[in-house]
């Protein structure tokens, strides 16, 4: 009897030894990323098409990680989704990051940037012939932006107003702004119907607008910022980063690889973006935009503190970062950002 028991134990150990051990998963098995409507997220199209997050997650020993891509209009909806745990990474203009950074500072849910995505201008276009500059807006005009007061376009318009009329008048045009997605705003502008006669937009929509007779540019964001600036960034919570360090690094590695792919062959990248977004734009037309001298796809933050300094000065935020590094997690601190 004793021999038989020992034999059974031995068989059991042999069976266990022959069975491959499954690594314990301490990190998430699914990752959700959110983006908005523009060409500021071209790396995301490359990452999705080439399954780059899945690739780097597997290389990090995380096994099969499922990746989901969501789309929102404006930073408010995305930030709400991030805080609610419905998405893990969100992306948008710098003011959206700054707003949530200040709101969550010092909490377990504290939010910081992962990296920049691109530096490129966005244009305020008008169909009204009498509007030649920002000075010409009247109470009868309406300006479509992705989100009133909080989107990068809305804050840049406030900065332009402050430069022209003084800091105390930074909100001079807030009552003229209307929340509208870039695709819908473009239709509203070029149709000539309805109250929207100006759109502070994003590429590629801003360039599509300019192809219509009578539509012209009133303001370039580079003029407001005094030169090139980061257009889009990606951010997440400290809670997610600390609980999922390998997943976080896999996402950053995927971003780096996608940026290299994009800059190596912008025509091929344009084709990927068209296919992933199901756009009806031509590759030649889109390639002309992404290869423009003013467009740079880079993970390096540029002029981000100009936004935080302004938002603090006018009272939109009560605390401001001492430097751009306060806004971003340490993994990106080695670059020459601003």
Angle at 70 between CA 68 and CA 73, to 5 degrees: 170
Position 74 scores a pLDDT of 67
- DSSP secondary-structure letter at 328? B
Residues 133 and 75 in one domain: no
In a domain, 6, yes or no: no
In a domain, 178, yes or no: yes
- The CA distances from residue 301 to 121, 242, 278, in Å, are 14, 22, 29
Residues 45 and 69 in one domain: yes
Residues 127 and 90 in one domain: no
Give the closest residue to 304 by CA, choosing from 320, 329, 334, 324: 324
Kindly give, in sequence order, each residue whose CB lies less than 8 Å from that of residue 134, ignoring residues fewer than 6 positions away: 124, 157, 160, 161, 164, 173, 218, 219
Give the closest residue to 329 by CA, choosing from 9, 116, 115: 115
The domain containing residue 39 runs over which residues? 30-120+229-332
Residues 239 and 305 in one domain: yes
- Give the CATH number of the domain where residue 153 resides: 3.40.190.10
pTM (global) more than 0.85:
yes
Residues 220 and 259 in one domain: no
Total domains present in the chain: 2
Confidence of residue 25 (pLDDT cuts 50, 70, 90): low
In a domain, 12, yes or no: no
Residues 164 and 236 in one domain: no
In a domain, 14, yes or no: no
Helices (H) and strands (E) in the chain, counts: 14, 11
Domain boundary residue, one of 191, 225, 259:
225
Position 77 scores a pLDDT of 80
pLDDT of 4 > 90? The answer is no
Residues 103 and 242 in one domain: yes
- DSSP secondary-structure letter at 200? E
Domain boundary residue, one of 225, 254, 269:
225
Confidence of residue 14 (pLDDT cuts 50, 70, 90): very low
Kindly give, in sequence order, each residue whose CB lies less than 8 Å from that of residue 192, ignoring residues fewer than 6 positions away: 127
In a domain, 202, yes or no: yes
Hey, is 230 helix, strand or coil? strand
pLDDT of 7 > 50? The answer is no
- DSSP secondary-structure letter at 123? E
Find out whether 329 and 335 touch, Cβ atoms under 8 Å.
no
In a domain, 214, yes or no: yes
Strand partners, 217: 125
Residues 136 and 160 in one domain: yes
Residues 248 and 304 in one domain: yes
pLDDT of 112 > 60? The answer is yes
**How many other β-carbons are positioned within 10 Å of the β-carbon of residue 291?**
11
203 phi-psi bin (left φ>0, alpha ψ -120 to 50, beta other): beta
Residues 211 and 254 in one domain: no
Give the closest residue to 182 by CA, choosing from 166, 205, 198, 159: 205
Interior/surface letters 203-221, b for 16+ CB within 10 angstroms, e for the rest: bbbbbbbeeeeebeebbeb
Interatomic CA distance for residues 75 and 327, integer angstroms = 16
In a domain, 10, yes or no: no
Residues 254 and 185 in one domain: no
pLDDT digit string (tens) for 143-173? 999 989 989 999 999 999 999 999 999 999 9
Residues 111 and 236 in one domain: yes
Interatomic CA distance for residues 241 and 236, integer angstroms = 7
In a domain, 2, yes or no: no
Kindly give, in sequence order, each residue whose CB lies less than 8 Å from that of residue 265, ignoring residues fewer than 6 positions away: none
Domain boundary residue, one of 197, 225, 253:
225
CA diameter of the chain: 102
Question: Which carries the bigger pLDDT value, residue 177 or residue 15?
Answer: 177
Strand partners, 252: none
């Amino acid at each position: 009897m004793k021999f038989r028991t020992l034999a059974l134990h031995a068989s059991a150990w042999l069976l266990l030894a022959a069975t491959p051990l499954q690594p314990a998963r301490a990190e998430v098995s699914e990752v959700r990323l959110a983006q908005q409507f523009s060409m500021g997220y071209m790396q995301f199209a490359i990452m999705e098409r080439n399954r780059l997050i899945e690739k780097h997650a597997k290389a990090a020993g995380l096994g099969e990680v499922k990746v989901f891509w969501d789309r929102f209009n404006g930073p408010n909806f995305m930030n709400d989704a991030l805080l609610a745990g419905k998405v893990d990474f969100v992306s948008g203009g710098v003011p959206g990051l700054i707003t949530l950074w200040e709101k969550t500072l010092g909490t377990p849910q504290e939010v910081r940037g992962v990296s920049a995505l691109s530096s490129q201008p966005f244009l305020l276009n008008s169909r009204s012939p009498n509007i030649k500059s920002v000075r010409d807006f009247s109470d009868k005009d309406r300006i479509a932006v992705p989100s009133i007061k909080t989107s990068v376009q809305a804050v840049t318009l406030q900065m332009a107003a402050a430069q022209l009329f003084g800091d105390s008048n930074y909100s001079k045009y807030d009552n003229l702004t209307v929340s509208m997605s870039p695709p819908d705003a473009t239709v509203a502008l070029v149709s000539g119907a309805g109250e929207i006669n100006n759109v502070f937009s994003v590429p590629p929509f801003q360039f599509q607008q300019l192809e219509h007779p009578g539509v012209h540019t009133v303001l370039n964001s580079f003029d407001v910022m005094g030169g090139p600036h980061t257009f889009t960034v990606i951010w997440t919570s400290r809670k997610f980063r600390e609980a999922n360090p390998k997943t976080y690094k896999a996402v950053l590695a995927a971003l780096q690889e996608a940026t290299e792919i994009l800059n190596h062959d912008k025509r091929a990248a344009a084709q990927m973006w068209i296919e992933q977004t199901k756009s009806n734009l031509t590759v030649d037309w889109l390639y002309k935009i992404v290869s423009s001298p003013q467009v740079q796809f880079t993970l390096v933050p540029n002029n981000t503190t100009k936004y935080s300094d302004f938002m603090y000065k006018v009272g939109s935020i009560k605390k401001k970062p001492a430097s751009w590094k306060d806004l971003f997690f340490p993994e990106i601190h080695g670059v020459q950002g601003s």
